[in-house]
Structure formats: C-alpha cells, structure tokens
Structure 1
Amino acid sequence: MWIGGVRVIVPDEMGRILMVKQRHEGRDIWMVPGGAIEEGENALQAAVREVEEETGLKIKVKRLLWHVEEVSQERGQRFVNFFLAEIIGGMAKLGSDPEFDEDNQVLKELRFFTRKELCKLPIVYPEYLKTELWEALEPKYFENNVFKIKD
C-alpha cells in the first residue's frame, strides 16, 4: 500500500526558507513543513493544510519541485511530493500536530533560515535539502545567497 505525504518549501519576503524543528526518537530534526495526505484530499490540499497547521501561514502552491518514492523494510512503500509555495497570509507561529495530544507534541520550533544557516544545521531531513533545494530553485531568483520568488 502506498502512503503519500507532502513537504513544502516556503520562502519569506527576504528569501529565507521556513523550517520546523521536530523531536523524533530522542533527537531534534529540522525539516520543511508537511505531513501525510489525508483521505479525501489531494497533495495540493494537504500542502496548504499542513503548512497552516504547523506554522499559522496561508500559502499558495507555486509548483512541484520533487516527487520522491521510497521503499524500505521499516516504512514500506511511500511517496512525498515537495512543493514550492509563497506566503499569502497569516502570521508565522509554531502550530501543533493534531495527531498528538498537548503533552506529546513533536513540533518544537519554527524559524526561517538563509542557505548558509540551513547548511550549518546538524540534522536536516532529508539531508539533500542542504544542497539539492538550492540547485532546484532557478539561479536567476537568487540575490545575496537567498531565494527570491518572482513571477
């Protein structure tokens, strides 16, 4: 059975990338907002919902960056769509994961990072965000080592 998920690259007005720190298996992991696609919704709807739940921000999905498939003994078969989005409303604040009660929340911190700052983080999931994220975004959108959304 395939299980689907989404992750969303959300730059701010200064071109920094939004990351959330989650606590899993006794360690802190930085990742872009996202989560599972719920029954009855598509990947775009899941992306919008997950970002709002975790960050308080309303977004508009601009485009698909990657479709990643994984087959492993531990997790089985699954896929994750990575989208690029822009902020269209809301205020950035750490949200909550409705799958966990108040005492067991995994979301610990919310922060925007420049490329240089993101690359210095000890644990980023997936690790290739430190390199491939920047390669996937068109170079003409970079100024001073940060990403700028332009239509």
Structure 2
Amino acid sequence: MWVGGARAIVLDDKDRMLMVKQHHEDHDIWMVPGGGIEDGESAAEAAVREVKEETGLDIEVGSLVWHVEEVSERGQRFVNFFMCRLVGGTLSLGEDPEFDGDSQVLRDVRFMSREELMKVQCLYPGYLRDEFWDIYERGEFGRNVFKIR
C-alpha cells in the first residue's frame, strides 16, 4: 500500500527558501516543511497543515513541482512537492504532534538563500540545490514532475 506525503517549497521576498532542520538517526537533515497525508485530506491540505505545525506560517498551495515515488525495503511511498506562497503567520519552530516533548525531531526553522543551501551537508531532496532553481528561473513548474528514488 502506498503511503503519501506532501512538502511545501516557500520562498520569501528575497528568494530565500523556508527550511526546517530535523534530527533522524543521529544526524541533522535540512528539508522543506511537510509530512504525511492524513485520512480525509488532500496532499495540498496536508502541505498547508504541516507548514503551520512546523513553522507557524500560513501558505497557499500553488503548482506541483515534483511527485517523487520510492519503492524500497521501507515500503511504497510518494511525496508531492508544491510551490507555495506565504500568506501570513509568524515564523517560529513548531512541534510534531506525533511525538511527545522529549522525542521531537524538529531542531530549527529559517529561510535560507540559494548560496546557503549549496553549503548544507545533509539536504533532502538534493535537487533543491540545483534543479529547483533552474525550474524556478524558467518558470516551468508542472513539467517533468515525476521522479523515482
């Protein structure tokens, strides 16, 4: 059975990307905010909810950037990455309601420039470093969205 997720790519007025740092398996990973799709919600609704939970910000979902599928020993998963627009809220480190206070994985939240992203050691997915910016500069969202991991 497929398990679905959604992630939101949000840029501020300086073209810095909203990023969250999560701690998994003894190392930190920077990624755009997002998480699992809950029963009864769409991928776009999940993206809105997850951004609010993790960052305190309100977004509006726009174009699909990537649909990433993975079939591995971890199971069958897909994640939809959406280009989103910031519409309100106040930036703050949130909490993941799936974990209690001592088990939280969120460590940091901030907007990062393209140059800062190039220097991040653990970035998920890696194509946020280059491919995203090529798509963004050309304004070609919605083309070649399918990826297999």
Q: Is the pair's TM-score, using the shorter chain for normalization, greater than 0.5?
A: yes
Separation in 2 of the partners of 1:136 and 1:96? Answer: 31
Deviations 1:27-57 (A, max 9, x none): 0000000000001101010010000000000
User: Hey, what does 2:100 align to over in structure 1?
Assistant: 101
Mark the runs of 5 or more structure 1 residues left unpaired by the alignment: 141-151
User: Hey, what does 1:83 align to over in structure 2?
Assistant: 82
Deviations 1:1-31 (A, max 9, x none): 0000011101012110010000000000000
SS at match of 1:85: strand
User: Hey, what does 1:110 align to over in structure 2?
Assistant: 109
TM-score (norm 2): 0.90
- Note the aligned Cα RMSD (angstroms): 1.0
Separation in 1 of the partners of 2:44 and 2:76? Answer: 20
Separation in 2 of the partners of 1:99 and 1:115? Answer: 31
Separation in 2 of the partners of 1:48 and 1:5? Answer: 12
Give the C-alpha shift of residue 111 in structure 1. 1.1
Separation in 1 of the partners of 2:113 and 2:138? Answer: 15
Give the C-alpha shift of residue 138 in structure 1. 3.1
Superposition pairs of residues 28-67 of structure 1, within 5 angstroms: 28-67=28-67
User: Hey, what does 1:147 align to over in structure 2?
Assistant: none
Give the C-alpha shift of residue 139 in structure 1. 3.5
User: Hey, what does 1:125 align to over in structure 2?
Assistant: 124
- The code of the aligned residue for 1:46 comes to A
TM-score (norm 1): 0.89
Separation in 1 of the partners of 2:55 and 2:124? Answer: 18
Separation in 1 of the partners of 2:6 and 2:111? Answer: 19
Give the aligned length.
139
- The code of the aligned residue for 1:123 comes to C
Moved over 2 A (4+): none
SS at match of 1:99: coil
Mark the runs of 5 or more structure 2 residues left unpaired by the alignment: 140-149
User: Hey, what does 1:11 align to over in structure 2?
Assistant: 11
Separation in 1 of the partners of 2:126 and 2:61? Answer: 23
User: Hey, what does 1:143 align to over in structure 2?
Assistant: none
